[in-house]
Amino acid sequence: MKFLNRLFGRPDPAQPVRILRVTYAIEIRSPDHAYLTQETRWRSAVAGLTHYREAIPIGGGRIDRIRASLGTLRPVEEAPAGDPARQIRYEVDLPAPAKRDDEGIQVLSAILTDPFTAAEPGFSFRPIYPAEAIGLSIVFPLTQPPRDVVLARVDGAIPTPDDTPLQASSRADGREIWRWLKDSPPAGAAYRLTWWW
């Protein structure tokens, strides 16, 4: 049925929005405290869109506070602990119905507690819907720069290094920032950024 919907240009009822780009921005203050901003650029695939789902990765920690720039959030479910991209899913209620092909930007801002206290800290992520592009930036503390950083796909049995390189640079305040942008990622792909202190 999904194939026929795509073939005839009909929206898939399970995917009411088309994700143009998802960008994750992480600022690590310490291994037990970080800020996460997730920006999702979307296009409505249906007329009269009043709500859709978002998912925010939480790694090994928990969310202490979350805000949405557009509409209101209702927690729906938490992905199981064994999921390589553990996340909490939210239903987003839009402030006004969107017409088909209307575009929007949703920014979720969260404070994460204990996200990177594991022996091998990392950040795993997978967009809830297929995305045309995925971006990532991560800022490390000035007092604790990483020795090494690796990004890999983790949706298979064995992590596979991604062919899109990470770009490292320094901010004006001296902190290291690593960036990554993937155009046309495979649908359902999960990724993990791992670093060593």
Residues 147-187 have pLDDT tens digits of 888 898 887 667 788 888 889 999 889 899 999 999 988 88
Query: Residues with Cβ < 8 Å from 95, sequence gap 6 or more?
Result: 70, 71
Structure tokens at 81: 């602990």
Average pLDDT, integer, range 92-96:
92
The strand pair at 17-30 and 133-139 is best described as parallel
Please check the confidence at residue 84 and state whether its pLDDT lies above 60: no
CA–CA separation, 151 and 53 (whole Å): 26
HSE value, Cβ hemisphere, 13 Å, CA-based, for 175: 16
Structure tokens at 66: 């979350």
CA–CA separation, 182 and 127 (whole Å): 12
**Domain boundaries defined on the chain:** 17-196
CA–CA separation, 4 and 182 (whole Å): 28
Q: Residue 3 — φ and ψ, nearest 5°?
A: -60, -45
Measuring CA to CA, how many Å separate 121 from each of 28, 75, 98, 114, 171?
12, 26, 39, 10, 22
The strand pair at 62-68 and 148-153 is best described as unpaired
Structure tokens at 30: 């310490």
**In this prediction, what percent of the chain has a pLDDT beyond 70?**
85
CATH of 17-196, one of 2.60.40.1730, 3.40.50.300, 1.10.287.110, 1.25.40.10: 2.60.40.1730
pLDDT band at 14 (very low <50, low <70, confident <90, very high): low
Q: pTM for the whole thing?
A: 0.85
- Beta-bridged to residue 155, according to DSSP, are none
